Chains A and B, each alone.
Chain A
Amino acid sequence: MGKVGIIGVGQSAFVRGYPGSIRELAFEGFRDAVQDAGVSSQDIDASVICSAPEYDKQRSPAGVFAEYLGLVPQPTFYMESLCSSSSMGLRVAYSLVKSGLHDVVAVIGFQKMSEISSAESQERMGRGADIQWESPFGTMMPAYYAMYARAHMEKYGTTPEDLALIRVKAATYGQVNEKAVYRKPVTFEMFSDPESPMSNPVASPLRVGDCCANADGSSCVIVASEERAKTLSQKPVWIMGLGAASTAVNLAGRDLFTGLTVAQEAGDQAYKMAGVTPKDIDVAEVHDCFTIAEMMAYENLGFAQPGEGKELIKSKATYKEGSIPVNVDGGLLSKGHPIGATGGSQLRTIVLQLRGEAGDMQVKDPEVGLVHNIGGVGLYGNVTILGR
């Protein structure tokens, strides 16, 4: 059985208030990937459609999209694992190809968060947690991650200022990423300036500047068998390792609050399958839905020892020129986080990096890249390792 390659990647611009319907939004990411791959809809044997369903008015979007994108009569189906839906979609596409069932599969992620009001959106996002035992207390995503931030600060002496540095980095690259929703700079001083919205408390110890930008967007990743990838693509990027894990939804069922066990476990699986170690990773995309999430990712993926993630950001090791560049496309913090599209967009960034096509964001000559994509509050974890 051969390898599985990525032959095309695409995404829409991530925006607030996309002026179109969800099928039209999906079309943008899909067209970008199909053109990138130099294939047509009829070269694609199956499609996996990924999003977090609670945002959509459309029931079962897969059939609607497949028709709109010219992917009928091929099989299509829906895949969801909250914010990691499209990484999970890639995992499924990999197995469809690896099994020999299909040769070419498109993974299409999307989210039109503005389909509903932002208050409704917060409430629905909160329902990705335990609705029976936690939601009745009035929980929200930022507050859950804030509890991890508090535990991390308590155990390791991490400070709100360390977290602010992560946002400053994200904004550095969001400014040069034309697909990003937040293109403005963020300075360290804004976090201590009461006049700046960045300093406003959301859920202690997290502030507005620590939270990612909601957005509408779509992404698409086209995978193919080794044989088809070599025929169809000049520069296929290979899927070297895949890891996935889950944990208790209720925080009461967990033991670790200074990191995400799903990231550790998915990372270990992916490293083992790829036959590489954290030191071999040349560029990474991590799920920075909140600044603390990136800090924990440094540690859970082995880029830093537990508690030493802050040293990476202080020394700028995770900047483009550093020893382990992370989220040099702006990350979820500045590029934006359209739930179901996020994993596909992260994969796209790494594919472009490995091909040397990342423009102003290009890291010097990377050979191995990693994507860390988390669903819910560390409920689902996916780690994918790609190589040239």
Chain B
Amino acid sequence: MGKKKEVDDRFKKFGTVSFTAITKVNDFIDYLEQGKVMASRCQTCGMVFFPPRADCYKCLTSDMEWVEVSGKGKLVSYSKLEFAPIGFGDDLPYAIALLDYGDYKVFGRIADNVPDDEIRVGMELVTRVNELPNGQLNYVFDRV
């Protein structure tokens, strides 16, 4: 599935600045465009991977299927940045965070609309697709 180009560099659309253009999990971007954040699952052993991977290190197979990251996760930790790396300054301030879904965890950002004083370790959040002002796509953790 997904649109195929001569050089499939769809992944350059991931995040404020992407450092990767070509990967075997480029379909991740197509799903983001459809409003879905996807993990991958090994069709042999059933292990779910986030971030999604093209290959299972346990089975040494590349037989993976996409599964949606859905429902609520628990906030493991977060940090609000006052300084940013080159290329990210316009996004400041923003908070990076980790959400625990039980079978896997998701690393990303907390949505800008969640007030600082509401953020608590252990709180439940959902992962949703977010379009950045520069037209790039990422995902953020938002209130349930």
Partners in one complex: yes
Which chain A residues have a beta carbon within 8 Å of chain B's beta carbons? Answer: 119-120, 122-123, 126-127, 130-140, 142-144, 146-151, 154, 200-206, 250-254, 257
Given A138-B81, A202-B82, also A154-B121 (CB < 8 A)? yes
Given A136-B16, A136-B17, A203-B80, also A143-B96 (CB < 8 A)? yes
Closest-by-CB residue of A relative to B91 is A138
**Residue B20 contacts which of A131, A137, A139, A202 (CB distance < 8 angstroms)?**
A131
Indicate if the CB atoms of A139 and B18 lie closer than 8 Å: no
Indicate if the CB atoms of B51 and A147 lie closer than 8 Å: no
Q: Which of B11, B82, B104, B107 has the most CB of A within 10 A?
A: B107
**Residue A139 contacts which of B11, B77, B82, B85 (CB distance < 8 angstroms)?**
B85
Indicate if the CB atoms of B51 and A250 lie closer than 8 Å: yes
Given A122-B85, A138-B84, A138-B96, also A143-B51 (CB < 8 A)? no
With A and B bound together, what is the CA distance between A200 and B98 in angstroms? Answer: 24
Q: A137-B138, A206-B79 given; name 12 further pairs at CB < 8 Å.
A: A123-B87, A132-B19, A134-B107, A136-B15, A137-B109, A138-B94, A138-B109, A201-B80, A202-B82, A205-B79, A250-B51, A254-B105
Is B106 on the interface with A (CB-CB < 8 A)?
Answer: yes
Indicate if the CB atoms of A150 and B19 lie closer than 8 Å: no
Given A123-B85, A252-B98, also A151-B121 (CB < 8 A)? yes
Indicate if the CB atoms of A136 and B19 lie closer than 8 Å: yes
Indicate if the CB atoms of A257 and B83 lie closer than 8 Å: no
Indicate if the CB atoms of A250 and B107 lie closer than 8 Å: yes
Residues of A within 8 A of B87 (CB): 123, 138
Given A138-B94, A143-B96, A252-B50, also A150-B81 (CB < 8 A)? no
A247 nearest CB across to chain B (Å): 13
Indicate if the CB atoms of B19 and A146 lie closer than 8 Å: no
**Residue B85 contacts which of A130, A138, A150, A250 (CB distance < 8 angstroms)?**
A138
Residues of B within 8 A of A127 (CB): 19
Is B78 on the interface with A (CB-CB < 8 A)?
Answer: yes
With A and B bound together, what is the CA distance between A299 and B83 in angstroms? Answer: 29
Q: Mark B94-123, 1 if CB is under 8 A from A, else 0.
A: 101110000011111100000000000110
Indicate if the CB atoms of B105 and A251 lie closer than 8 Å: yes
Given A143-B96, A154-B121, A250-B51, also A132-B20 (CB < 8 A)? yes
Which chain B residues have a beta carbon within 8 Å of chain A's beta carbons? Answer: 11, 14-20, 23, 50-51, 76-88, 91, 94, 96-98, 104-109, 121-122, 138
With A and B bound together, what is the CA distance between A269 and B49 in angstroms? Answer: 30
Indicate if the CB atoms of B82 and A203 lie closer than 8 Å: yes
Indicate if the CB atoms of B104 and A252 lie closer than 8 Å: yes
Residues of A within 8 A of B50 (CB): 252
Can you list 15 pairs linking A and B with CB atoms under 8 Å apart? A123-B87, A130-B51, A132-B23, A135-B15, A136-B18, A138-B81, A138-B84, A142-B79, A142-B83, A143-B79, A147-B78, A151-B121, A204-B80, A251-B98, A252-B98
With A and B bound together, what is the CA distance between A146 and B79 in angstroms? Answer: 6
B14 nearest CB across to chain A (Å): 5
Residues of A within 8 A of B97 (CB): 147
Indicate if the CB atoms of B77 and A203 lie closer than 8 Å: no
Indicate if the CB atoms of B105 and A135 lie closer than 8 Å: no
Indicate if the CB atoms of A252 and B88 lie closer than 8 Å: no
Closest-by-CB residue of A relative to B52 is A133
With A and B bound together, what is the CA distance between A135 and B91 in angstroms? Answer: 14
Given A146-B79, A147-B77, A203-B79, also A138-B105 (CB < 8 A)? no
Given A123-B86, A139-B85, also A131-B19 (CB < 8 A)? yes
**Residue A143 contacts which of B11, B81, B105, B121 (CB distance < 8 angstroms)?**
B81
Indicate if the CB atoms of A139 and B16 lie closer than 8 Å: no
Indicate if the CB atoms of A137 and B77 lie closer than 8 Å: no
With A and B bound together, what is the CA distance between A334 and B138 in angstroms? Answer: 38
With A and B bound together, what is the CA distance between A251 and B78 in angstroms? Answer: 11
Indicate if the CB atoms of B51 and A150 lie closer than 8 Å: no
